[in-house]
A = this chain, B = another copy of it.
């Protein structure tokens, strides 16, 4: 885990309010694993004050890609950065996905909603390298929320899409796609990242089908490396549930460990 105060932006792509940046950061890249994230400084002044957590979207040699959606002030500032400028990043942070198991010949289904697709490209490639049979399910409100769909296909990853408004792929939520996929052929492992309601529904589907699922949680993060205790969520580890740090103990958790919020 390192601080790289001047990672050069080697490439910038954007689609509406989605942006992809490729950062030259060999030291950080050398330690990276799928599901880990960076804490990114979005401005140079004291407002905004805090870094923003952004997942690793891809590793390309000594470079790392991030893919994000403009959600507020911080990501809006980040979206203004141009090629040739530098970013101050901290990472890789968090534990990432648990890829200890033998995935050879196993079927892994990756479910991403909206910006939640970000970590799944890196993960999909890594699982494929481990011999897994990878299927990606990508959902969004509308066609314009699926900007990286072709990137998966171009990389040879099997991908299916769903849109809430039916403008592309299967109409409806990506969880519908997941149910259909499971009905077709039960996966050995699920990996999920997206909005809370989607992840919660996916966790329910996984539990019903007794499919082990890893879920990548989001949370407001003050530091990203365990110092502030700001990012906690209720995690059950044989203890009825305690506030655990998402940044340090996660952001990825087995679905069964997550106690979802009462109010949605």
Asked if A46 lies at the interface with its beta carbon under 8 angstroms from chain B, I say yes
In the bound complex, CA of A23 to CA of B227 (Å): 46
A45 to chain B: closest residue by CB: B47
Asked if A176 lies at the interface with its beta carbon under 8 angstroms from chain B, I say no
Asked if A73 lies at the interface with its beta carbon under 8 angstroms from chain B, I say yes
Asked if A43 lies at the interface with its beta carbon under 8 angstroms from chain B, I say yes
Q: Which residues of B contact A45 (CB under 8 A)?
A: 43, 45, 47-48, 73, 77
Within 8 A of B (CB), among A144-163: none
Q: Which residues of B contact A47 (CB under 8 A)?
A: 45-47
In the bound complex, CA of A93 to CA of B83 (Å): 37
Most interface-central of A43, A44, A48, A73 (chain B CB within 10 A): A44
- When each residue 38-72 of chain A gets 1 if its CB lies under 8 Å from chain B and 0 otherwise, what string results? 00000111111000000000000000000000000
Q: Which residues of B contact A48 (CB under 8 A)?
A: 45
A42 to chain B: closest residue by CB: B45
In the bound complex, CA of A45 to CA of B49 (Å): 11
- When each residue 192-224 of chain A gets 1 if its CB lies under 8 Å from chain B and 0 otherwise, what string results? 000000000000000000000000000000000
Within 8 A of B (CB), among A104-130: none
Most interface-central of A43, A45, A47, A73 (chain B CB within 10 A): A45
Identify the A interface with B (CB < 8 A).
43-48, 73, 77
9 CB contacts below 8 A, A to B, read A43-B45, A44-B77, A45-B45, A45-B47, A45-B48, A45-B73, A45-B77, A46-B47, A47-B47
A-B contacts besides A44-B77, A45-B45, A45-B47, 6 pairs, CB < 8 Å: A43-B45, A45-B48, A45-B73, A45-B77, A46-B47, A47-B47
